[in-house]
Amino acid sequence: MGRPALTRDAVLDTAAGLVKEHGPAALTMRGLAAELGTAVTSIYWHVGNRESLLDALAERTAAGLGEIRAAGRTPARRVVSVALALRRHLLDHPHLVAMVHERGLTERMFLPAQQALVHEVHAAGLRGARAASVVRAVTFHVVGHVLVERARERAPLRHPGEPDLWDTGAADDDPALARALARPADPERLFDLSVRALVDGLLTRG
């Protein structure tokens, strides 16, 4: 009767739930204790302090990214498909990924994806340090792009007068460009364009 015994895993589970829903900033020790139905201080016995709780959570999340399968006919397309899948996954778990990222564990998290990329890059005829750089460049690009996207989402409402910085002759004689830059970017299309360009550039260089 009463609550089931409090375990380290139970603490991590409900902590993960809170972070997934409201972000790491919303995870307080007292709130977590309330959710668990225990005293705050019990948590400390099981997981140390808040910092190591978040560390453990990040480890867990980093380990949770499963296999990623490439799709497409050419190596370039297959690499791009991995990048797209990776981006999808990151966007689907924004809070948890942010936590992993802040703790510098992103690289470990991406190990399965990197193995898939290695395979494709080999198929494209690259080997050794050269191939490694390509794999890394692609993962950096994906993570970076998603981070920038997410920052844009968080952006406050546009400040008055900002969009038309591009209208007022800043882009001299190219009104179509001015209009395009005055509009918010379409992250989906932008990502597609840039990974394709990046991968093409990486795979075709001497």
Partner DNA sequence: ACCTGAACACCGTTCAAGT
Residues in contact with DNA by CB under 7 A are: 5-6, 27-31, 38-42, 44-46, 49-51
Residue (22 or 179) nearer to its own copies, CB: 179
Cα-based distances in Å from 97 to 7, 107, 108, 118, 169? 24, 12, 12, 23, 40
Residue (45 or 63) nearer to DNA, CB: 45
Tally Cβ neighbours within 10 Å of residue 43.
Answer: 22
Interface with its own copies by CB under 8 A: which residues? 55, 101-108, 111, 114-115, 118, 122, 127-129, 131-133, 135-137, 140-141, 143-148, 151-156, 159, 162, 165, 170-171, 174, 176-177, 179-181, 185, 189-190, 193-194, 196-202, 204-205
We find the least distance from the C-beta atom of residue 46 to DNA, in angstroms, to be 6
Rounded CA-CA distance 118/139 in Å is: 11
Which does residue 1 bind out of its own copies, DNA, none, counting CB within 5 to 8 angstroms by kind?
none
Rounded CA-CA distance 43/102 in Å is: 23
Which does residue 46 bind out of DNA, its own copies, none, counting CB within 5 to 8 angstroms by kind?
DNA
Contact 141, 90 (CB under 8 A): no
Rounded CA-CA distance 126/122 in Å is: 5
Which does residue 66 bind out of its own copies, DNA, none, counting CB within 5 to 8 angstroms by kind?
none
Q: ∠ CA 138-72-197 to the nearest 5 degrees?
A: 40
Which does residue 12 bind out of its own copies, DNA, none, counting CB within 5 to 8 angstroms by kind?
none
- Residue reference for tokens 């509009």: 183
Cα-based distances in Å from 84 to 9, 55, 88, 125? 32, 27, 6, 22
Q: For 46, left (φ over 0), alpha (ψ -120 to 50), or beta?
A: alpha
Rounded CA-CA distance 114/179 in Å is: 38
Residue (3 or 205) nearer to its own copies, CB: 205
Residue (19 or 199) nearer to its own copies, CB: 199
We find the least distance from the C-beta atom of residue 9 to DNA, in angstroms, to be 12
Residue (41 or 204) nearer to its own copies, CB: 204
Residue (50 or 150) nearer to DNA, CB: 50
Which does residue 31 bind out of its own copies, DNA, none, counting CB within 5 to 8 angstroms by kind?
DNA
Rg of the chain on CA atoms, in Å = 22
We find the least distance from the C-beta atom of residue 202 to its own copies, in angstroms, to be 4
Which does residue 71 bind out of DNA, its own copies, none, counting CB within 5 to 8 angstroms by kind?
none
